[in-house]
Amino acid sequence: MKMNWTPEELQAIVDEHALVLFMKGTPNEPQCGFSNRAAQVMQQFGEPFAAVNILTDSRAIPSVCAWSDFPTMPQVFVQGELVGGSDIVLEMLQDGSLKEMFDAGRQ
């Protein structure tokens, strides 16, 4: 897929997929410990998720961070809404709020 990392393209990704993980590397070959942790949380959660490797293009990190107004990677979107990075998504897996938010659907 040819990406220009515009806000419209990024919004389309999170509109299309219930779970989206913007990460350094891929779930199988993560390039950062935090991205690895987030990918593992997604895998443990067990629902299909879209992983976007933001190391494929130098424009990606600044574009995603400006669009989402969140300064670090990885970033997890549930039902189109940013929930945060690997620290928050792990906490939300453990306390059940990730499932609640996923099951609630689009707000």
Partner 1 sequence: MVTTDWVEGEVRKAVPDAVVEVIDLHRSGDHFHVRVISDSFDGMRPLQRQKLILAVMKQHIPHPVHALDLKCMTPAQAETAGDTAFDPHGGGQGVHIRRIEKNKD
- Which residues in this chain contact partner 1 in the complex, by CB under 8 A? 32-34, 36-37, 40, 70-72, 82-88, 91-92
Best CA proximity match to 21, nearest among 71, 70, 89? 89
Q: Return left, alpha or beta for 31; rule: phi > 0 is left, psi -120 to 50 is alpha, else beta.
A: alpha
Q: Nearest distance from residue 79's CB to partner 1, in Å?
A: 14
Cα separation, 15 vs 73, in Å, equals 20
- Nearest distance in Å: CB 71, partner 1: 4
Cβ nearer to partner 1, comparing 50 with 88: 88
Smallest separation, CB 8 to partner 1 (Å): 23
